[in-house]
Amino acid sequence: MHLPEAFESRMQRLLGQQYPEFRAALEQERALGLRINPARLTPKQVQSLPFLEGPVPWTPWGHYYASTSRPSAHPFFLGGGFYLQEPSAMAVAELAAPKPGQWVIDLCAAPGGKTTHLASFMQGQGVLVANEFTASRVPRLLENVERWGARTTVLSNPLDRIARKWERLFDVVVLDAPCSGEGMFRKDPEALSEWRQSTPERLGRLQQDLIEQAAALTAPEGTLVYSTCTFSEEENEQVIEGFLKKHPEFQLASAHLHPSFSAGFGLPEAARLFPHKLRGEGHFMAKLIRTDGEEGDVTYEEHAKVSKPSLKAWEEFRKAHLQGELDGVVIERAGHLYLVREHLPSLAGLKAPAPGIYLGEVKFERFVPAKALAHHLNLKQVSRPLEVGTAEAFKLEFGESVPVDAKDGWHWLHFAGVGFTWGVVKRGNLKPTPLRA
């Protein structure tokens, strides 16, 4: 790997005698990881996965997998049974560790790894908001949140707009800040090719602005987790040090989840993850606790009512295909139905591509279910499950039809109890739903 001279000089200064070991690590094969969805897979199903190579030590849901394998070719991947995620990146949500029922916001959420991880902690309770201010990255975020089956409100807004509206409302705020990506050079050649000597300082200024917005959202006694996947002090310790000087109401807590994590330079409570110290890429994490201040005033969302024709179509589908009611409020957006939290902070003035779980669309007075609804449900919640094999599951995922021996109408499609879409049968032909989030 050819590294820029300016980067090598910087790392030699930071690491001193450890630099040769660090440099050698970058020439090694990188570690690959996936994170289990505990709401989808049983321990027995996890044990059945043939490609696992041992646990990621800082999270109970993380596993390494062999570089010669393709986990995405397993049907459990289609059903959100696991998420492919760089092992070091799994530490961020573990550090945040929200509790069920809390209000949580992931501010730079795409592609969704940390959001889905946070969702596993919350167990379907509380409020989980995922925001991505780069519009081009929102579709990927929606797809991954949908596949995970998470109860999430997805936004696409500048951080200052959210901070002004929801000041001091969130128990947990995660800011995985845009950065120079030095810690991903081994994983991402594009990050290496785009790096310039001036990049860390330029992005450090952006990160100083972003952490101010994150702090404004943090409730009293709340947690703010700041992270990057880079090594530069300008984007890590200097951001935290500058923030703490201006904000005595925040205190730094330990981010050391595992003995392999190194102390921050001049900030021993912060954690650095180095590739020569552990099986993963480079990361930085700091955990800040707000110790003072008053909780913000909350205005709750006024949920859009569902029209009578749409409500009738939804209720007919629900009674025929679901076992019981769903937890939440059904709202309508121009014929599209969503399941949202009853108590959700007001979204007025915010761009929200998905205020909750996308249920489906009413067309010609009939309800067409979405994939997101299938991912949200389990075998006990549906009336007409239909199990398919591996080959059929992937054909359906890519929009192809398959022959089946089943009754006409809609079916919840699954592989070994893990749902991945809806399909409609007509005269022995099974066609997947066209609706995504």
- Whole-angstrom Cα distance, residue 387 to residue 330? 28
Q: Confirm or deny that 108 is annotated as ligand binding.
A: yes
Tell me which residue of 419, 416, 393 sits closest to 404, measured CA to CA.
Answer: 393
Q: Confirm or deny that 149 is annotated as ligand binding.
A: no
Q: DSSP state, 64?
A: E
Q: Establish whether the linkage from the previous residue to 178 is cis, with ω within 30° of 0.
A: no
- Whole-angstrom Cα distance, residue 7 to residue 13? 10
- Of these residues, 229, 270, 273, 388, which one is catalytic? 229
Q: Confirm or deny that 179 is annotated as ligand binding.
A: no
Q: Confirm or deny that 405 is annotated as ligand binding.
A: no
Instruction: Take residue 119 and report the two structure tokens written for it.
Output: 């969702």
Q: Confirm or deny that 287 is annotated as ligand binding.
A: no
- 336 strand-pairing partners: 333, 361
Q: What are phi and psi of 389, to 5 degrees?
A: -85, 180
Place of tokens 């591996």: 390
Instruction: Take residue 184 and report the two structure tokens written for it.
Output: 């991903």
Q: Rg for the chain (alpha carbons), in Å?
A: 23
Q: Confirm or deny that 132 is annotated as ligand binding.
A: yes
Which residue blocks in 154-198 are alpha helix, DSSP H? 159-165, 189-194
Q: Which amino acid, residue 316?
A: E
**404: exposed, middle or buried (Cβ count in 10 Å: 0-12, 13-18, 19+):** middle
Is 179 tagged catalytic? no
Tell me which residue of 95, 153, 86 sits closest to 121, measured CA to CA.
Answer: 95
Active site residues: 229
Residue ranges of the annotated binding site are 108-114, 132, 160, 176
Residue ranges of the annotated binding site for S-adenosyl-L-methionine are 108-114, 132, 160, 176
